[in-house]
């Protein structure tokens, strides 16, 4: 039984607002009729690295692991999850990425009331991942991205596929090298508040680095958005963001537009904004998911961004775990006591952070120890 497919999305499009948003998101990935219309629209012309419609349709199919159908039924209404954490993984059960994912799954069970959807784009999921052991887990299987070198995309674009196929009314994307901490469930309510009809874009946390053309001189997007960060850059609307988006269903068409543009290798034309001449950009040349999300948000003039809720290292939690009541409101232990470095344009005094998730949790044994310490603190 398919949990996600072009046919399912089309048939459900009139059921409720979320289903309509879902279809608007995937129409350009799924519809032959939509594809036919592009023949008469030069702005939608596909490029040489286009992934064909047939393959795009195949990439929108996903099925729930048979072991977790009861779990899915418990958490869904009318085919949708109300809130969910969403991640993705590939690899055999002994791979480091699968081991990292297990610690992430544990953290959700320790500190969240909501389910976690794990999209498996590789081999069979570990047999030890069972609904009895992890009652908030739902495993969903989907095909890997094509391996043909002419149309190959980064594995990380599976992040955007998992978001598009998750059927989550309000979601938080987490990578397998993250863990969830106490209080993180507030992200769902805040996202539901801020991502809406008036602001239909995902929210991403500020990156700990203020990337610019100085750091990425060969990146093809900077001539369009900010060729000189010492001068006004009207096309860049926010500091570089980290690719850990939160979204409501209102943002699904945004994700769909940009996955479509990338998979069809579309081109953004030259434009002039506030006297600045922005160079053209072929979307397929934007090589990673994080790069694409930043480009997309700037292009659509989005201007809201999370503080750093994905602290850059697990060891930063040492600052919280070592706190004593005698410290009062002071943070005096460990590297977690400083704000994220500031910049000249967006955060003059540094980026504030909250300890709702940790990133770069790449040592599963160490992560397990931190989770246990947090649980018993």
Give the C-alpha separation, 117 to 105, whole Å: 9
Query: What pLDDT is attached to residue 124?
Result: 80
Average pLDDT (283-297) is 98
* Least reliable range by pLDDT among 131-140, 267-276, 325-334: 325-334
* pLDDT tens digits, 87-98: 999 988 889 999
Query: What pLDDT is attached to residue 301?
Result: 97
Give the C-alpha separation, 38 to 25, whole Å: 16
| pLDDT band of 327, cuts 50, 70, 90 | confident
Average pLDDT (346-354) is 92
Query: What pLDDT is attached to residue 338?
Result: 78
Average pLDDT (359-366) is 96
Q: Answer for the pair 62, 93: CB distance below 8 angstroms, yes or no.
A: no
* pLDDT tens digits, 116-126: 999 999 878 89
Query: What pLDDT is attached to residue 122?
Result: 87
Would you state the structure tokens that stand for residue 165, as one six-digit string? 């196929």
Choose among 120, 119, 106, 116: nearest CA to 84: 116
Q: Answer for the pair 105, 74: CB distance below 8 angstroms, yes or no.
A: no
Query: What pLDDT is attached to residue 114?
Result: 98
Res 261 pLDDT > 90:
yes
* pLDDT tens digits, 149-187: 999 999 999 999 999 999 999 999 999 999 999 999 999
Res 351 pLDDT > 90:
yes
3-state secondary structure the chain: CEEECHHHHHHCCCCCHHHHHHHHHHHHHHCHHHHHHHHHCHHHCCCCCCCCHHHHHHHCCEEECHHHHHHHHHHEECCEEEEEEEEEECCCCCCHHHHHHHHHHHHHHHHCCCCEEEEECCCCCCCCCCCCCCCCEEEEEECCCCCCCCCCCCHHHHHHHHHHHCCEEEEEECCCCCEECCCCCHHHHHHHHHCCCCCCCCECEECCCCCCCCCCCCCCCHHHHCCCCCCCCCCCCCCCECCCCEEEHHHHHHHHHHHHHHHCCCEECCEEECCEEECCEEHHHCCCHHHHHHHHHHHCCCCCCECEEEECCHHHHHHHHCCCHHHCCCCCCCHHHCCECCCCCCCCCCECEEEEEECCCCCHHHHHHHHHHHHHC
Inter-CA distances, 34 with 26, 53, 57, 265, Å: 10, 10, 13, 16
Give the C-alpha separation, 25 to 31, whole Å: 11
Res 303 pLDDT > 90:
yes
Res 364 pLDDT > 90:
yes
Query: What pLDDT is attached to residue 340?
Result: 86
Average pLDDT (345-374) is 95
Residue that is written with structure tokens 């992934």 in the block? 51
Query: What pLDDT is attached to residue 50?
Result: 98
Report the mean per-residue pLDDT for the chain.
95
Q: Answer for the pair 115, 138: CB distance below 8 angstroms, yes or no.
A: yes
| pLDDT band of 323, cuts 50, 70, 90 | confident
* pLDDT tens digits, 209-244: 999 999 999 999 999 999 999 999 999 999 999 999
Residue that is written with structure tokens 């000189």 in the block? 228
């Amino acid at each position: 039984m398919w949990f996600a497919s072009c046919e399912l999305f089309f048939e459900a499009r009139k059921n409720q607002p979320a289903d309509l948003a879902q279809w608007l998101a995937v129409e350009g990935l799924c519809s032959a009729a939509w594809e036919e219309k592009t023949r008469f629209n030069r702005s939608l012309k596909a490029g040489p690295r286009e992934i064909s419609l047939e393959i795009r349709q195949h990439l929108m199919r996903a099925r729930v692991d048979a072991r977790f159908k009861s779990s899915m039924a418990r958490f869904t209404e009318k085919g949708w999850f109300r809130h969910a954490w969403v991640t993705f993984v590939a690899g055999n059960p002994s791979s480091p990425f699968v081991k990292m994912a297990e610690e992430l799954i544990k953290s959700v069970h320790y500190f969240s009331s909501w389910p976690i959807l794990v999209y498996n784009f590789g081999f069979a999921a570990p047999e030890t991942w069972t609904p009895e052991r992890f009652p908030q887990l739902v495993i969903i299987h989907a095909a890997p991205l094509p391996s043909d070198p002419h149309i190959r995309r980064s594995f990380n674009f599976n992040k955007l596929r998992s978001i598009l196929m998750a059927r989550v009314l309000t979601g938080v994307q987490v990578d397998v090298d993250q863990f969830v901490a106490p209080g993180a469930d507030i992200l769902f309510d805040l996202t539901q508040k801020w991502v809406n009809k008036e602001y239909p874009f995902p929210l991403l946390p500020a990156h700990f680095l203020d990337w610019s053309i100085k750091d990425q001189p060969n990146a093809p997007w900077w001539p369009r958005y900010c060729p000189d960060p010492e001068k006004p850059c009207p096309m860049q609307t926010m500091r570089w963001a980290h690719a850990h988006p939160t979204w409501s269903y209102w943002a699904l068409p945004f994700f769909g537009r940009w996955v479509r543009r990338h998979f069809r290798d579309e081109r953004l034309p030259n434009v002039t904004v506030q006297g600045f001449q922005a160079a053209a950009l072929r979307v397929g040349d934007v090589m990673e998911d994080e790069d694409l999300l930043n480009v997309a948000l700037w292009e659509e003039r989005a201007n809201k961004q999370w503080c750093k809720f994905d602290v850059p290292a697990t060891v930063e939690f040492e600052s919280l775990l070592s706190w004593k009541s005698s410290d009062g409101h002071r943070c005096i232990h460990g590297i977690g006591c400083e704000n994220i470095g500031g910049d000249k344009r967006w955060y003059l005094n540094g980026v504030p952070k909250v300890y709702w998730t940790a990133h770069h949790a790449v040592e599963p044994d160490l992560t397990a120890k931190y989770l246990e310490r947090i649980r018993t603190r």
